Structure 1
């Protein structure tokens, strides 16, 4: 007997922490786990989406057991003067379905909600109420927190789940509808706006108003009004049955070593968005979270210090691989007039489908990168060069405090 509470304690029951717990339950059921979440429910109030091609066969297998929305007949994008249907298969998972599977498949005592963490170290997690959970390995998945070491802009959004009295008639997702007013709500500075539409059922729609904004201001009243206007424009009437809001970083550069050092706790594994394991331009996290969860399950017997070093090395490699996307984000925020930023995406969605899917998966080939940058640029060349050479603003969100 070791006297420990569990083998592995995971702090943060969001996407990354939940998938790590699930991967361990599936591949290493002999290991005891505690999944510790400060909020009232695992997964919070979110919706995660991805392309089927984003995942490896093992990743697809891990995600197979979730109840999720699936579209195998393609999706649409819309821009001023240009529309396109693409063939890629698309998936979307709601947090309540995420939580339901974890509750089914994890051990009865594995999930702790409403458990705010006061401090953690390599062998224990101390809760705000004084309770101590001891573990061989501690994994910190508490989410992205600003330090001032990274630079960029923000993705600000509000999503609404509507239920219509009559069938709405929308068969496929609209991943990006930028044929909308590009004026940002006050307080956001410049922004690129698009609307995201998911037909979750014959009578159910998820409609999200999204901005690539210079500032992290989330004006709920303004965004709610914009969704009302969009629904009226497309002839949709329904009762709201749920909503979500969010502010995500769009990372364009910075000192990743300093960012990691600011969050590092000796011997503690740092994973998820807190570790920088995100797509810096699209903010898509699920494919990366799946890959890291499987990687941790594969080496779950490593001592905490060694597992922490492994995942930190993966985060450094990921940062290096994502340089191309940070460059594009720099040009988006620094070189394009806010009202004209949609032109960058409109041009991008004229490219080959395989290139587009690899872009979202963060696996663009060298030839993909050349193709994205070749031809007539969607932003003035001088401004693009100036943006690349200039220092982007630090990612500092005044509405958030860095978790300790």
Structure 2
């Protein structure tokens, strides 16, 4: 790990600053939207727009990198992100915010592609696993720290929008000045969605459903807190608990998955999440109980995402894994577009509890489908302990081109 940090610390520091800025923005918009009088459905459209932009960027950013190179794309998109962050409080209109969120998601997809390919290029086969683990850790640390920064200013003012803009601008300094040369962009073997579904129906369906869970969880958590009348401090603690849970439980669940049928873990964890979210949605719980639910939700969702990728890879040849990961991550992003929209509509119909009820419904569907798939197919034999993958935060970690179904 020391060798990884000695060669990659500028990139890892930059990524952490990026995630601090991004983490503040995600929670702050939910709080500020409520202050501005946006309806729950309008805020949900704003939140969903990020994932639409992210998908667009994941398709266009690779060609941009091929044309002008990593450094120029990184600098250009970073400048746009800083600009967007300071425009939010100036143009407090939900339709303007929706357009800005599309642009924001597009820019971050390109940023992630650049940073992750840079990291992979700097790492060796012996250090790549440690490098990706360090990458995940700094992202989690950055997002958790961002929730604390929310308490230093008034969400109805400008300061909390200026802070992430400054942090994002500073994030590019260590990355652009790093001695590691920019990598050469390469494409990989393609794989159609039809072929991917034939290889792993559970993986494909699971990624669609977890996409909805992720976007509802991180896009609407602050909206739930605002509807509940929580303070900015309590909302930031609740959102931070989602990430802390994922950070703490990721490795233990991954260790278990290499020693048993992954589908049993997917089914069991999804069932636990479904029941927990149902209770949180129907009962009037104290704030401490909601924090426990948040820790559990984050601690289950992140590992289930990785389990689905690992389970699919159990059926793949080595040279198909990159394309399959790209396809599944695209499905995850597609499902994420609809998470905040549906959540916002349900919350408008039944109240704040709709936030938990929607997530419960998605996990219930995943539990039922995983059980059905277990009756249709035997577990793969000879799963290697290294097959469990720790997912990156962006759905563009694999930049393989997905071929259209013919």
**Scaled by the length of structure 2, what TM-score is found?**
0.26
Higher relative contact order, structure no. (Cα contacts within 8 Å, ≥ 6 residues apart): 2
Greater helix share, structure number: 2
**Scaled by the length of structure 1, what TM-score is found?**
0.26
